[in-house]
């Protein structure tokens, strides 16, 4: 039987109500089989609009269950958990022919008056399990009181999904043992859940069984020796009506927090979100560096480490599992909760990261045909991954193919290209870019080996996105004078007070008195290469132009033998800090990375038979800070309407949270993944041709008519001409050019 938020009760027309429980104001008198007259009251629940009649004296919680209204409860109507809060609506409601008065509900009793649970009573709110219907009534059920209601969002936007948790809590009273009792304690608890909640369970999991006696013995006692405990139930099965439930944990007293953690295991960062499975609220978010970085910065280097070092695989596995355990502990500490309350964990990530986390040899993914151990979703207990939540079930999302993993599947779930007829390009840029293209008519996917250049690695002054890193760049096309903006300061470098602000703000952020502009991060790298091309510092093939001797331009370019460097930032005299330059090798590294990404995109477009997508979604922290116009100038993505390019944030993490909060979302992700067509760029002959063409800025052959409507591009030169052929002219300045 599927999970339900309400305990059972007799709501038949003949149910007997004690006279001292309710003062009957209005209603319709009916007779039961014994001839006892019982009044019926009209009740309407908003926002669902469900309506019906119930016997006067019925609790609002029981009325909600009788009418099929989604009203949460963990304590089973004991007035402890506070999850069944409702707000009565007073006044005239012609739509339902109801006039609701203040006496339509019973006055607060001793239990409700003394309530002091973790969730305080809101303004005008009542406890649905204690408030009794006395007359015709309109009741509002707020979102936070709906078990399957819309998600309450914080720090991460998962969209409007209906909560469908696969772990639920049920408080029950367990009778004291007797010599005549033939049932084991596990069966007694299971029978209590059936009797008090109308929920039939299939059994108990081994982890819960081991602690069962101690948990019940520590339960809250009453005068009869009964013990109040909370039973955590884990559900499995494709659809709610077909799911089976097992006891996953038994905790003493009433526990109201059913927690879940969604984690995206990135090659650089491990990021997680702690949520309340009953409300969908994100309670805490945190991230930490993946400790495997010290053994290899990108995915292939970690596979190489396993190949070349005996015991390398267990070492990498231990590192990532330690990071997962520490992250869960940190998230729970931030929310003031215990890791033992975590019942669900969802993990997504690149296939290599997932293989390592599960203790599976990743080396087959290091060479063709890149065979996965499994592309299906995997479920296991938290203890199997050494997590500090032994009662938790860990759900590892399905993979699409050898290098398009569960993180891409989660990003698709969040971005939703399969739900729309518009053709969407979803790009998650990392050391291995994952690309999905398509619509409700079908999806294609590919991965491109972009390497770590976009994250600051392989760049002479590159760094991660931390205070002091240059994130925005503009270059004057006449003088080649640059201006920059850095993380930690809202001022541009040519604005008054920049020097003082950067020293003060960045020093505080880095705890270093000598802090200043320290390097350039991914979004800044995109912008500086694009701006260098727009200003004429770079020609289309990526060569830094030698300026005429003398003049302001000459001060910006430093000759280094056969190559040159562009001076992007010089610290003010006397302030210290490095001079930030962009070398010819830096430009080449970015060209190689962007060409790999662009070739993958172009290959998918060819397979889909389209020239360009209708819209582009840039995922990840990198995508959140990219200027779409500069990305198109670089040629990172094809020519499209810049207004149709948007950031979807941490799409993989968002999809993981959606899968955490809803079993239906997991089923949708698994269903979509099965139908995605994977294009393997590593073995596709056409990929190399597209890669070579994509090396140029913005592209060797593809025109940019849409981009040209918002920014003026330099005129193309003869491909055989010298890079210096453009040095004697300044590119024209467009009135539409965006300088902010």
Global pTM reads: 0.75
Is 19-145 CATH 3.10.20.30? yes
Q: What are phi and psi of 680, to 5 degrees?
A: -90, 105
* 425: its two tokens: 């390009």
Handedness of CA 330, 336, 338, 339 (dihedral sign): negative
Residue 693's H or E segment, with its range, is helix 685-694
Exposure string over 609-635, b if 16+ CB within 10 A, otherwise e: ebebbebbbbbbbbbbbbbbbbbbbbb
- Which residues are 150's β-sheet partners? 162
CA–centroid distance for 61 within its chain: 33
488 exposure class (CB count in 10 Å sphere: 0-12, 13-18, 19+):
buried
Q: CB 728: neighbour CB atoms within 10 A?
A: 9
HEC profile of 569-617? ECCCCCCCCCCEEEEHHHHHHHHHHHHHHHHHHHHHHHHHCCCCCCEEE
CATH of 259-396, one of 3.40.50.150, 3.40.50.11540, 3.40.50.300, 3.30.420.480: 3.30.420.480
Domain with CATH 3.30.420.480 in the chain: 259-396
- CATH fold group of domain 167-252: Ubiquitin-like (UB roll) (3.10.20)
pLDDT of residue 4: 41
Assign 631 to helix, strand or coil: helix
Whole-angstrom distance, CA of residue 406 vs CA of residue 386: 21
Contact 352, 298 (CB under 8 A): no
Whole-angstrom distance, CA of residue 36 vs CA of residue 42: 20
pLDDT tens-digit map of 442-460: 999 998 877 777 776 678 8
User: Between helices 522-535 and 584-608, what is the axis angle to 10°?
Assistant: 100
Domain with CATH 3.10.20.30 in the chain: 19-145
Whole-angstrom distance, CA of residue 603 vs CA of residue 692: 13
Whole-angstrom distance, CA of residue 475 vs CA of residue 527: 10
Cβ neighbours of residue 333 closer than 8 Å, sequence gap 6 or more: none
Contact 222, 171 (CB under 8 A): no
Contact 616, 437 (CB under 8 A): no
Residue showing tokens 């969407």: 424
Euclidean distance between the first and final Cα of the chain, in Å?
Answer: 58
Which residues in the chain come in under a pLDDT of 50?
1-35, 150-154, 506, 509-514, 718-740
């Amino acid at each position: 039987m599927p999970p339900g938020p309400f305990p059972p009760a007799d709501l038949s027309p003949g149910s007997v109500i004690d006279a001292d429980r309710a003062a009957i104001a209005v209603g319709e008198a009916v007779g039961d089989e014994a001839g006892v007259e019982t009044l019926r009251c009209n009740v309407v629940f908003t926002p669902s609009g469900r309506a019906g009649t119930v016997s006067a004296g019925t609790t609002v919680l029981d009325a909600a269950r009788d009418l099929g209204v989604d009203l949460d409860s963990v304590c089973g109507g004991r007035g402890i958990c506070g999850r069944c809060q409702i707000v009565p609506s007073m006044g005239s409601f012609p739509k339902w022919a109801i006039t609701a008065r203040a006496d339509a509900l019973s006055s607060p009793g001793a239990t409700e008056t003394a309530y002091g649970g973790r969730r305080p009573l809101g303004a005008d709110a009542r406890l649905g399990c204690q408030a009794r219907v006395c007359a015709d009534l309109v009741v509002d059920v707020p979102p936070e009181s709906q078990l399957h209601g819309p998600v309450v969002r914080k720090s991460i936007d998962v969209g409007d999904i209906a909560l469908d948790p696969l772990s639920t809590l049920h408080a029950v009273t367990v009778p004291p043992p007797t010599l005549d009792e033939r049932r084991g304690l596990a069966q007694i608890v299971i029978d209590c859940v059936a009797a008090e909640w109308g929920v039939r369970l299939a059994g108990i999991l081994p982890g819960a069984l081991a602690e069962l006696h101690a948990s019940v013995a520590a339960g809250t006692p009453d005068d009869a020796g009964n013990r109040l405990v909370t039973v955590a139930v884990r559900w499995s099965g494709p659809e709610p009506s077909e799911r089976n439930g097992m006891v996953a944990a038994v905790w003493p007293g009433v526990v109201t927090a059913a927690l879940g953690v969604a984690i995206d295991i990135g090659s650089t960062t491990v990021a997680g979100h702690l949520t309340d499975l009953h409300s969908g609220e994100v309670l805490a978010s945190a991230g930490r560096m993946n400790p495997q970085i010290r053994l290899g910065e990108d995915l292939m280097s970690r596979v190489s480490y396993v190949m070349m070092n005996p015991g390398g695989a267990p070492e990498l596995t231990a590192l990532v599992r330690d990071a997962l355990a520490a992250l869960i502990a940190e998230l729970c500490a931030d929310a003031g909760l215990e890791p033992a309350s975590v019942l669900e964990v969802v993990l997504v990530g690149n296939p290599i990261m997932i293989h390592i986390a599960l203790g599976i040899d990743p080396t087959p993914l290091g060479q063709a045909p890149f065979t996965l151990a499994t592309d299906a979703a995997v479920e296991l207990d938290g203890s199997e991954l050494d997590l500090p939540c032994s009662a938790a079930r860990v759900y590892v999302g399905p993979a699409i193919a050898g290098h398009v993993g569960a993180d891409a599947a989660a990003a698709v779930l969040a971005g939703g290209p399969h739900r729309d007829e518009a053709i969407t390009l979803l790009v998650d840029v990392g050391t291995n870019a994952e690309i999905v293209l398509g619509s409700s008519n079908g999806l294609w996917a590919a991965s491109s080996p972009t390497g770590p250049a976009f994250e600051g690695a392989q760049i002479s002054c590159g760094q991660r996105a931390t205070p002091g890193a240059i994130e925005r760049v503009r270059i004057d096309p006449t003088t080649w004078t640059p201006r920059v903006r850095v993380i930690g300061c809202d001022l541009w470098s040519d604005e008054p007070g920049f020097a003082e602000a950067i020293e003060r703000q960045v020093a505080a952020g880095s705890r270093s008195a000598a802090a200043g502009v320290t390097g350039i991060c991914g979004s800044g790298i995109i912008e500086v290469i694009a701006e260098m091309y727009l200003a004429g510092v770079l020609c289309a093939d990526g060569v830094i132009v030698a300026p005429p001797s003398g003049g302001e331009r000459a001060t910006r370019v430093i000759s280094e033998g056969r190559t040159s460097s562009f001076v992007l930032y010089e610290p003010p005299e006397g302030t210290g800090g490095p001079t930030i330059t962009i070398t010819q090798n830096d430009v080449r590294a970015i060209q190689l990375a962007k060409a790999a990404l662009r070739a993958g995109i172009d290959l998918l477009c060819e397979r889909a038979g389209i020239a360009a997508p209708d819209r582009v979604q840039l995922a990840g922290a990198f995508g959140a800070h990219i200027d779409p116009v500069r990305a198109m100038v670089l040629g990172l993505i094809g020519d499209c309407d810049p207004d149709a390019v948007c950031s979807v944030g941490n799409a993989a993490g968002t999809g993981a949270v959606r899968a955490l909060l809803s079993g239906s979302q997991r089923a949708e992700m698994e269903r979509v993944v099965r139908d995605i067509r994977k294009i393997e760029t590593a073995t596709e002959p056409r990929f190399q041709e597209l890669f070579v063409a994509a090396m140029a800025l913005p592209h060797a052959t593809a025109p940019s008519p849409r981009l040209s409507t918002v920014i003026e591009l330099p005129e193309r030169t003869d491909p055989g001409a010298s890079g210096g052929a453009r040095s004697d002219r300044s590119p024209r300045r467009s009135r539409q050019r965006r300088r902010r």
